[in-house]
Amino acid sequence: MNVARRVYDLPARQPIGGTHLLDKYFDELAVGDVFAGTRGRTVTETDLALFSAVSGDWNPLHNDADFAAKGPFGTRIAHGLLLVSMMTGLAPISGQAVVALYGFERVRFVNPVLLGDTITYTSRISALQPKGDGRGLADLDFEICNQHRDLCVAGTIKILLNRTAGS
91-131 tens-digit pLDDT: 767 678 899 999 999 999 999 999 999 999 999 999 999 99
Domain annotation covers residue 15: yes
What's the domain count of the chain?
A: 1
* DSSP label of 131: E
Q: Which helix (H) or strand (E) holds 160?
A: strand 151-162
> In angstroms, rounded to a whole number, what is the distance separating the alpha carbons of residues 79 and 127?
28
CATH code of residue 62: 3.10.129.10
pLDDT digits (tens, 9 = 90+) for 18-66: 445 567 899 999 999 988 877 899 999 999 999 999 999 999 999 999 9
Q: What is the pTM of this model?
A: 0.84
Domain annotation covers residue 127: yes
* Residue 64, φ and ψ in degrees, nearest 5: -120, 105
CA atoms within 13 A on the CB side of 68: 17
More confident residue, 5 or 89: 89
Domain annotation covers residue 1: no
Domain annotation covers residue 2: no
**Which residues form the domain of 72?**
7-162
Domain annotation covers residue 167: no
